[in-house]
Structure 1
């Protein structure tokens, strides 16, 4: 019987590959978990104004309240790798939605600042689980030809959640202070319930099933998530071959992630390059300050002279609409143009936008009249910054993190990379106002511009293109020629 041919060759044939409808459905369901984080980012940017006035808290307490969710999501992200290896990808998604549900209820019913903090800590753990598992699950069920588009869906749902949060801010701003922010935060419990129930319509990841030795179940899932039986057989062969080539997986039918962290601490050259790439892209995603800019946009524009809450939330809606439009553009073209071109376009665009925002803010800081043109420039620059983020770093970080690690290390490697993401996000969110008070908003935006210049250089030199490669083929991109030659020599000697 002939060996199946490479999926890369099949995908590059004359016929344009179409995504299997069932795999698109599963990817959408998994990715909707990310709407929970997006909603929190969006709604908190407005709710925090009313929380500060209602609970009489300082701006330092505001920063801690905003940032604690991201710091605690570090715990969820770190735990999610081992959890998903033990109980499977699908039930980890259920766990993420359930944890966030409890946190949302605690926040909505919070009578005091400590109670509100407790709710955000619980919700943060749920967010950490959701951010890791959604792109990982999608990457493992999707064929290579559409993996980029489908794995970028979490970013689309984050943006959709942000926009939904902005709309809730705008709609509920007129309610009494003691009610409006509680309703804004508590509403998040509704989608969490729906998501937890819908997940049961999804199959388990075929790659996790193969790692557990459940080959027949993996075959049934691949038949549902492939275009035809030939593609299903091809994918099953590549997955089982990758498992067979891994000594730990081959020797254990019930492998559940043991030993991976030892390898992370003493990595091979190829694994070291993978860790640098995955951790680096997650670091720069949050060091860009995008989350902080979204959280504190009302504060930024208050400093420009806009004090009406409705107008501030209206600016947020414009910004959210812009983000949503461009993340769709990125998803549609990610598998055509590749990861690197869109990533570099996004980071260079963000650097230019942040420079313009810094100049606009600098002018407004030294102008008593607050001219309309300078405010307009600042609004356009903010919208451009978040739009370029949605083209590059936003969606591609989730795609890249979930596809570069080898099968056995994928869950815990992705969890490690996203833990760095959440740690940096929390650090930036909890220090943004303090830094801005020291060096002004303009100075902060110039610093972020410099960070994006460094990010562009890092991505150019350290991130290879993964477009069109199967998950099993991507590892070779991080190996040098000597390693590849040694691997071939071993294969020949076995023959």
Structure 2
């Protein structure tokens, strides 16, 4: 994930490539936004792949596909070759975006699942930060060299995956589904504190796998969901949509355009400002990870969405004032794949339309729209997203099945009582 972010160039890198390969604005939007759409295909394919060959092998496959794409991008002699490499890397990124959170959720203890599940996001942000820093570091190189060096650098972190795969265990849930219960028990003994806890988690996984295998087809369950699955889908897909519809990727990809509109003119100052964006994003993700299992997911979602709304409103107002001054006037894997589809489609739509929207309605107008969407996200989180901190995947299913739907909050002790009662 760190490599994928590092080799998914923000607009400062795109700017160098634009000069070198003579890329126009429409091509730049396509180049930036296509990654989200193509990674969607990788995410959808990764679900079936990870069920067939296991989570570990799928992680390795994702890294290999990404490395091939990054190499093609770094050596690209034309826009067409650059697009081909970006599309290939996007497939690898899509595989990784799907399988990483599934693997982490299936292997981590409930008490640490929130923090560990946030690791992909922090490494993505760290990769983006490294991308900004490398842009600044390589800015003195010729335009036909600096962006290639940065893209090539993204290959290096992904090479470490080969070593990691020799160390990490396979998902115990996948092992149970494959009938390899003994191996699943051995894995659980390494990630739990006591043998009793490992046996309890194994029993929960076996029961969940039995229900899944005895039920209807996964995608039929998604397309014709029960009330429990419907509440889960509303919460999960809604969060994925609002995460991108509030414009975070526009800020990441097009920060130089935004800062230039705010009056920062020199290339050095623009690069430094983008580094500040990446640094602040990484810092606050680390803070969120430290707090998520103590404060809870829903309070952090509410605080962050309110904060995003306020910041976007201030940003839009500030840019508007500046402009006035300058111018005359089982199902889990499928559901994760579906959630990523919503996330990537929304991200791609934002990335591929942001420059055009800014030309039509100004940067301030674009962020005014993002602020309005963010305000809606506050209400959505309050009404449809329950607290799941400290609960196993099986207890979360019970939580969404409670009367009152997703607004209810079941304490961990209650969940355990329901499981064993």
Matched, 1:115 2:81: yes
1:68 aligns to 2:68 (yes or no): no
Q: 2:243 is matched with which residue: 266, 285, 292?
A: 285
* 1:238 correspondence with 2:208: no
Contact residue 10 and residue 254 of structure 2 kept, 8 A: no
Aligned counterparts of 1:307 and 1:293: Cα–Cα separation in 2: 17
Aligned pair partner of 1:316 in 239, 262, 274: 274
Counting only pairs closer than 5 Å after superposition, residues 30-49 of structure 1 correspond to structure 2 as 34-41=1-8, 43-49=9-15
After the TM superposition, which of the residue ranges 45-54 and 166-175 deviates more from structure 2?
Answer: 45-54
TM-score (norm 1): 0.79
The aligned counterpart of 2:56 is 90
How does the TM-score come out when normalised to structure 2? 0.93
| Paired position in structure 1 for 2:295 | 337
Instruction: Tell me the CA shift for residue 248 of structure 1.
Output: 2.2
Whole-Å separation in 2 of the counterparts to 1:325 and 1:447: 26
For residue 412 of structure 1, report the CA deviation from its aligned partner.
1.5
Aligned residue number for residue 370 of structure 2: 448
Tell me how far 1:363 sits from its aligned partner: 1.2
Q: In the TM superposition, what is the alpha-carbon distance from 1:247 to its structure 2 partner?
A: 5.0
Deviation at 1:465, TM superposition (A): 0.9
In the alignment, what sits opposite 1:419? 341
**Partners of 2:189 and 2:363 in 1: how far apart?**
54
Counterpart position of 1:346: 304
Q: Gapped runs of 5+ residues in structure 2? A: 406-420
Correspondence list, 1:170-181, <5 A: 170-181=136-147
Q: Which whole-Å deviations, capped at 9, do the CAs of 1:115-149 have from their partners, x for residues lacking one?
A: 00000000111111111111111110011111111
Shift of residue 237, structure 1, vs aligned partner: 1.8
Partner of 1:127: 93
In structure 1, the partner of 2:413 is none
> Which deviates more from structure 2 when the two are superposed, residues 221-230 or residues 108-117?
221-230
Q: Is the 8 A contact 1:46 1:298 kept in 2?
A: yes
State whether residues 81 and 413 of structure 1, in contact with CA within 8 Å, keep that contact through their aligned partners in structure 2. no
- Check conservation: 2:10, 2:252, Cα contact below 8 A: no
1:227 corresponds to which residue?
193
Q: CA deviation at 1:36?
A: 2.5
C-alpha root-mean-square deviation of aligned residues, in Å? 1.7
Counterpart in 2 of 1:363? 321
Match for residue 5 of structure 1?
none
Q: Identify unmatched segments of 5+ residues in structure 1.
A: 1-33, 250-257, 370-407, 484-494
Pair 1:265 & 2:228 matched: no
- Counterpart residue number, 1:462: 384
Detail structure 1 runs of 4+ shifted over 6 Å in the superposition. none
Deviation at 1:482, TM superposition (A): 9.9
Deviations 1:283-308 (A, max 9, x none): 11111110111110101112233232
What is the distance in 1 between the residues matched to 2:205 and 2:141? 55
Q: Report the Cα distance in structure 1 between the residues aligned to 2:44 and 2:3, rounded to whole angstroms.
A: 19
**Shift, 1:155, TM fit:** 1.0
How far the C-alpha of 1:323 sits from its partner, in A, is 1.2
Q: What do the CA deviations read for 1:402-449 (whole angstroms, capped 9, x no partner)? A: xxxxxx211111111111111111111000010111010001111000
Partner of residue 325, structure 1: 283
Cα 1:480–1:224 change in 2 (3 A) is closer
State yes or no: 1:437 paired with 2:359.
Answer: yes
Separation of aligned partners in 2, 1:197 and 1:412: 28
